[in-house]
Chain A
């Protein structure tokens, strides 16, 4: 599954029902993958912490928003100075609408205000919060690729700018 486009280093696959059966899987997968991809960084602990923080947000969004059955794959890699994360997940109409709507939101000029509002306004946690955080706080570029039975959520993050 490695490709030049993703610069894939490692991937983790399981059934989506297994992934979403336990909340701690988000933490486990993000911590494990972050440690592996950070091994050759100048400061492995610093990079792993930052990478895990970003990846975990993405996984937590997927935990709540996916189709009912199928496989889950999380693939991380690096192209130049940019970290790439691809998460393949099964989807239904509701899931597809969720991700396509969020991506439109991330392109809005007031996305930062939306993020602040989702943090501090009363009410339920906004399901988009993690993706808003990645877009605003990590300046992540996000996209969605749709195939017949899989949806791929892709994030590109240049972690170097915070170091």
Chain B
């Protein structure tokens, strides 16, 4: 990384990707001549496809845009045997539209909007139909998380960011329970954020900042928050390390990042345990098909360690039908069934026998939850790490 300027650059030769992040507002083109030379030099090391990643480039003036555009057009002309892909983010209003004009200049330059093209499972999660699942899940996990969050370092008066906040219910619960000095809740789903704002308004909570954003390219300054949460989200991205890196970046030195993830194949229930176990092994496979790792839970510790955190704490807890009303647990599994069967199995093109087997297992899980002497569970892993001072 190159610092001491308003932007950072990084060239990853293995991914053939040159990343520019931050702010690019020079007074003249000469001011960014060094950057242009770095891009030119990086492109010279690449064969096939060169990725110019600008998804975390928050500001770009027309002087810099002109210089970048001319460089890319020139590279595309000189290296006509290569493809040039400009990776933008849909989180900001201008980049995709703006960079498209560069793509129109050359046959071998194209735009890939990161959010649409890189998250294979995004369509399931951003659909408004996923909201009931998130709401029920949070209600059930909060009984456990409320007690363990202080152990992971959450205190009253902290500045908190809830990344991948979904419908914002966890943020609301933290706001009520831990009275933060600041609480920012970020998600990529506009439908979830709309819901979050509506619910917060209904409860008169005006002090939560709900913002649209991309967890792998968060438009927030380094070292901004004391406590950063990211729940049930590393498991649904195919490159979770990119998100962990961002969580690390926005966390203050000495602050902590808290993540939760599942290992879906370990869902259990009795009676009909075999049917339930077999179904959830298939569900793990189903998510893997869409490049989501619902087995991520126990991998959380390593993910935090690899990102540079220390003092890592990991817990697991089991959401069970005996926690409260068994109907709530069954309601959660019903919501899962709807998405797993009616959307994901359908989109994978599963054979009817396979669909029937998964559906039977999920329904057995519900029955186990509602059975007078049944026991049904959903294990969740909660891990946190401290950013070194």
Contacts and interface: CB of A to CB of B under 8 A. Distances in A.
Interface in A75-119: 116, 118-119
B28 A50 contact: no
Contacts of A52: 59
B386 to A, nearest CB: 27
A133 interface: yes
Size bracket of the A interface: 20 to 34
Interface stretch (B88-96, B142-150, B234-242, B324-332): B88-96
Q: Which of A45, A60, A125, A133 has the most CB of B within 10 A?
A: A45
Contact of B59 (A56, A116, A129, A163): A56
A43 B190 CA distance: 10
Nearest to B6: A27
A159 B93 contact: yes
Given A119-B101, A137-B94, A159-B93, A46 B212 contact: yes
B130 interface: no
Contacts of A159: 93
A137 B30 CA distance: 25
A137 B62 CA distance: 11
B212 A53 contact: no
Contacts of A56: 25, 59, 61
B29 A45 contact: no
B23 A120 contact: no
A56 B94 CA distance: 14
A23 B98 CA distance: 23
Interface in B241-263: none
B197 A42 contact: yes
Interface residues of B, number: 32
Nearest to B186: A45
B211 A50 contact: no
A141 to B, nearest CB: 18
B192 to A, nearest CB: 13
A13 interface: no
What is the interface of chain A mostly: helix, strand, loop, or mixed? helix
B98 A49 contact: no
B29 A57 contact: no
B63 A45 contact: no
Interface stretch (B34-42, B66-74, B348-356, B358-366): B66-74
B122 interface: no
Given A45-B213, A46-B211, A26 B97 contact: no
Contacts of B69: 119-120
A130 interface: yes
Given A23-B27, A57-B61, A119-B101, A44 B94 contact: no
Given A27-B25, A49-B92, A53-B59, A119 B65 contact: yes
B319 interface: no
Given A46-B92, A50-B93, A60 B101 contact: no
A60 B61 contact: yes
B219 interface: yes
30 contacts: A26-B25, A27-B23, A27-B25, A27-B59, A43-B193, A43-B210, A43-B212, A45-B213, A45-B219, A49-B59, A50-B93, A50-B94, A52-B59, A53-B60, A56-B25, A56-B59, A56-B61, A57-B61, A57-B62, A60-B25, A60-B62, A118-B66, A119-B65, A120-B66, A129-B62, A129-B63, A129-B66, A162-B94, A162-B97, A163-B93
Interface of A: 23, 26-27, 42-46, 49-50, 52-53, 56-57, 60, 116, 118-120, 125, 129-130, 133, 137, 159, 162-163
Given A53-B60, A120-B70, 5 more contacts: A42-B197, A46-B93, A53-B94, A129-B63, A163-B93
